[in-house]
């Protein structure tokens, strides 16, 4: 919930057009009540197709073993862990928008938080697949949980970063889901109360948990949202920190660095915002929500992208500097030969990463480009390609040649089933997102109404700033108490 | 069964609603509830509701999680199955930080959401009476309970005077029951109406 107390008249409005409360409901709920467009059906069919291909790829991996992938003893982590870190990173923007920006009182978050939180949940679902299936014998996956078993009981190693990951990712998923659904309750009740069809009344009746909009419930809801935001803020920082510990606590050159936690978190926010941009630009167009997800929202997110992209850039340069400054031959070899040398086997991936993540976002210093939809859309995809390269660079270029030349590996390229698994998670992600966009309100209706009189276009023009009589309220409370 | 009689007033604007709530309370009426499409800051205070203690509950769940995680890991590593991992200490507290933190957050969040649902009586399949379906869209609905001191006529007159654009009386079940929203269910006959004193 928004906790903005006052609003500067200088800021541009967050909701365009002269809206009333009822119109807000109409605009956002209407796509749920109409039959899906042809574009939606085509997109959904493609997503399900990708998902099925992914399911088949995973079926092969489970049936025949990890040998279906091109991993070997030296490159033990390849595409799978790259994809895992990539998806977890994308999953960071949602909670950042809904939690950290709530605490920072950024009003613009209300337009995009719902969809970004949904995106987070789906991205974490995709991320989770990779470590689980990399276990090989996936039917033993529950061994990572500390449950009383008949083998001693033999507990898990609580000091292993891989186990910290289990706790971090599952907690992050659960808390994001609860946060998201708690916010959805009032909006599902809105859909339910407008519904004409029997099944729709029934479905949203169950989904809305019997929400009525009682003042006491709102008071508790606000308290819940605020505390969940307070909990999610350190949580979102901890998750990618812990993911970076998987690498940083090892002794592999290129991984063993203390810069990893902040560098990974900045990268996660960077790629997450890029994915939010990709989805928002499509969603606002297809569902006709340009007045709620405005140019202002896109511009603000582009500013976040150029900031985090530059932080990531500084981290890359720091790593190169430290590799030289430490005079550690293994570090130096990894950073200056395996990565920064364009003509080394994987040099292309390092420079691809540099071009996509560090150089190209700099165009967002220009206001005109920040406010250009086509450029933003194109850039959002470039950034996510770059962030995928980053994880690939970190994992593969560090592993393929480390200390002993006799155990160096040949050139690693994925099999079709490795690629298929990755495509399959795209299928899962977009299938979930298409279903979400069709059956749930993609914008938080109640929150938009809450900020409407402060940030709505027409109200701002009137200079109509309803201040709900702070002083007389205190007097009234005092009078009623005696 | 908790069937009571209510006078329901619909308001268009929170700016009208605020003084109206004050007026009704000054006149000594019992406001059953005010239903709004979005949270209105200060309305809970005007209605005389006390602050929620949900955050305190969250804190208690959180420290419970911290305690469980820390004591469990310490027990495993020192007494249940002590392992010598490269001669490192058996109680490596810094290495317990991530799991402890995550478990704290997990307990606090899950506990708070369950408490929230319990306090507000929200669950899948729960149905509650709607005084007006537009309360989740654009109307602010004030509901006054008819008591032995509050007659229907008085309450109606007061709501009209306070700026409600629509006022009517309803006999309704005040609690919740299991049901679907696809049909109107009448769970009572009107002779059961309870009047509070």
pLDDT in tens, A277-328: 999 998 888 888 888 888 888 998 999 999 999 999 999 999 999 999 999 9
Q: Searching chain B, which residue's CA lies closest to the CA of residue A180?
A: B113
Mean pLDDT of B107-116: 95
Closest by CA position to A99, among listed A251, A231, A291:
A231
Q: Do A466 and B110 touch (CB under 8 A)?
A: no
Q: Do B122 and A199 touch (CB under 8 A)?
A: no
pLDDT band at residue A9 under the 50/70/90 scheme: low
Residue A2 has pLDDT above 50, yes or no: no
Mean pLDDT of A346-358: 92
Domain architecture of chain A: domains with CATH: 21-481 (1.20.1630.10)
Residue A397 has pLDDT above 60, yes or no: yes
Q: Is A192 on the interface with B (CB under 8 A)?
A: yes
What's the DSSP call for residue A35? P
pLDDT tens, A80-108?
999 999 999 999 888 888 888 888 777 78
With residue B173 as reference, give the H or E element that holds it: strand B166-173
Residue A462 has pLDDT above 80, yes or no: no
pLDDT tens, B75-88?
999 998 888 888 88
pLDDT tens, A192-219?
988 888 888 899 999 999 899 999 999 9
Q: Give Cβ neighbours of residue B132 (< 8 Å, ≥ 6 apart).
A: B8, B10, B35, B139, B141
pLDDT at A394 (0 to 100): 92
A449: tokens are 């109404």
Q: Is B11 on the interface with A (CB under 8 A)?
A: no
Q: Using only C-alpha atoms, what is the Rg of chain A?
A: 24
Q: Do A159 and B95 touch (CB under 8 A)?
A: yes
B145: tokens are 């309970």
Residues in chain B closer than 8 A to A212 (CB atoms): 35, 128, 130, 135-136
pLDDT at A4 (0 to 100): 46
Mean pLDDT of A173-178: 94
pLDDT tens, A437-458?
999 999 988 888 888 877 666 6
pLDDT tens, B29-67?
888 889 999 998 888 888 888 888 999 999 999 999 999
pLDDT band at residue B163 under the 50/70/90 scheme: confident
Q: Give Cβ neighbours of residue A470 (< 8 Å, ≥ 6 apart).
A: B42
Q: Is A462 on the interface with B (CB under 8 A)?
A: no
pLDDT at A96 (0 to 100): 82
pLDDT tens, A97-138?
888 888 877 778 888 888 899 999 999 999 999 999 998 899
Domain architecture of chain B: domains with CATH: 3-50+123-192 (3.30.70), 54-120 (no CATH)
**Closest Cα in chain A, distance from residue B65 (Å):** 12
B46: tokens are 């005007």
Residues in chain B closer than 8 A to A154 (CB atoms): 81
pLDDT tens, A17-56?
778 888 888 888 888 888 888 888 999 999 999 999 999 9
Q: Is B125 on the interface with A (CB under 8 A)?
A: yes
The better pLDDT of the pair A1, A139 is held by A139
**Do residues A274 and A387 lie in contact, with contact meaning Cβ atoms separated by under 8 Å?**
yes
pLDDT at A457 (0 to 100): 64
Q: Do A212 and B130 touch (CB under 8 A)?
A: yes
Mean pLDDT, chain A, rounded, equals 88
| C-alpha count within 13 angstroms, C-beta hemisphere, residue B1 | 13
Which residues is B171 bridged to in the sheet? B5
**Do residues A361 and A307 lie in contact, with contact meaning Cβ atoms separated by under 8 Å?**
no
Give this prediction's pTM: 0.91
**Residue length, chain A?**
482
């Amino acid at each position: 919930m928004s906790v903005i107390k006052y609003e500067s008249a200088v800021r541009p409005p967050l909701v365009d057009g002269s809206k009333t409360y009822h119109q807000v409901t109409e605009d956002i709920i209407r796509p749920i009540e109409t039959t899906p467009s042809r574009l939606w059906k085509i997109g959904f069919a493609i997503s399900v197709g990708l998902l099925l291909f992914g399911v088949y790829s995973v079926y092969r991996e489970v049936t025949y073993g990890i040998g279906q992938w091109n991993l070997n003893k030296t490159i033990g982590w390849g595409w799978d862990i790259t994809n895992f870190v990539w998806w977890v990173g994308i999953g960071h923007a949602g909670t950042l928008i809904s939690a950290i920006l709530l605490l920072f009182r950024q009003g613009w978050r209300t337009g995009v938080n719902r969809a970004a939180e949904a995106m987070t949940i789906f991205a974490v679902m995709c991320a989770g697949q990779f470590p689980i299936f990399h276990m090989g014998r996936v039917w033993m996956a529950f061994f990572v949980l500390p449950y009383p078993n008949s083998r001693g009981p033999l507990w898990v190693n609580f000091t292993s970063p891989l186990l910290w990951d289990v706790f971090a990712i599952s907690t992050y998923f659960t808390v994001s889901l609860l946060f998201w659904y708690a916010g959805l309750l009032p909006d599902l009740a809105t859909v339910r109360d407008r519904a004409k069809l029997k099944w729709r009344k029934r479905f949203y009746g169950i989904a809305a948990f019997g929400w009525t909009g009682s003042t006491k419930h709102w008071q508790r809801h606000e308290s819940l949202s605020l505390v969940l935001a307070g909990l999610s803020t350190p949580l979102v920082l901890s998750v990618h920190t812990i993911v970076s510990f998987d690498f940083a606590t090892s002794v592999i050159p290129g991984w063993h660095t203390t810069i990893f936690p902040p560098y990974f978190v900045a990268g996660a926010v960077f790629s997450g915002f890029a994915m939010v941009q990709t989805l928002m630009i499509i969603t606002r167009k297809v569902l006709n929500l340009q007045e709620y997800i405005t140019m202002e929202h896109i511009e603000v997110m582009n500013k976040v992208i150029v900031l985090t992209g530059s932080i990531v850039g500084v981290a890359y340069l720091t790593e190169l500097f430290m590799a030289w400054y430490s005079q550690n031959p293994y570090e130096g070899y990894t950073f200056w030969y395996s990565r920064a040398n364009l003509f080394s086997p994987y040099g292309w991936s390092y420079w691809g990463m540099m071009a996509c993540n560090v150089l190209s976002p700099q165009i967002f210093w220009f206001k005109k480009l920040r406010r250009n939809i086509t450029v933003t859309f194109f850039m959002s995809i470039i950034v996510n390609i770059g962030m995928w390269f980053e994880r690939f660079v970190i994992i593969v270029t560090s592993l393929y040649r480390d200390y002993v030349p006799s155990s160096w590996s040949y050139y690693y390229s994925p099999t079709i089933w490795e690629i298929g698994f990755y495509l399959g998670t795209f299928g899962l992600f977009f299938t979930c997102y298409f279903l979400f966009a069709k059956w749930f309100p993609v914008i938080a209706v109640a929150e938009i109404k809450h900020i409407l009189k402060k940030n709505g276009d027409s109200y701002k023009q009137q200079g109509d700033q309803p201040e709900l009589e702070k002083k007389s309220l205190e007097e009234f409370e005092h009078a009623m108490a005696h | 069964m908790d069937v009571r009689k209510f006078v329901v007033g619909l308001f268009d604007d929170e700016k009208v609603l605020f003084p109206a709530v004050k007026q009704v309370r000054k006149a000594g009426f019992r406001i059953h509830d005010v239903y709004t499409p979005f949270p209105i800051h200060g309305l809970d205070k005007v209605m005389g509701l006390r602050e929620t203690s949900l955050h305190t509950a969250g804190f208690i769940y959180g420290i419970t999680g911290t305690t469980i995680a820390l004591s469990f890991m310490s027990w495993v590593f020192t007494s249940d199955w002590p392992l010598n991992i490269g001669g490192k200490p058996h109680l490596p507290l810094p290495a317990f930080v991530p799991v402890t933190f995550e478990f704290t957050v997990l307990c606090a969040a899950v506990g708070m959401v369950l408490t929230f649902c319990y306090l507000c009586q929200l669950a899948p399949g729960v149905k509650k009476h709607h005084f007006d379906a537009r309360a989740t869209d654009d109307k602010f609905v004030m509901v006054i309970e008819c008591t032995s001191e509050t007659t229907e006529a008085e309450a109606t007159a007061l709501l009209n005077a306070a700026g409600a654009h629509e006022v009517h009386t309803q006999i309704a079940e005040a609690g919740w029951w299991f049901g679907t929203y696809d049909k109107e269910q009448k769970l009572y006959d009107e002779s059961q109406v309870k009047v509070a004193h």
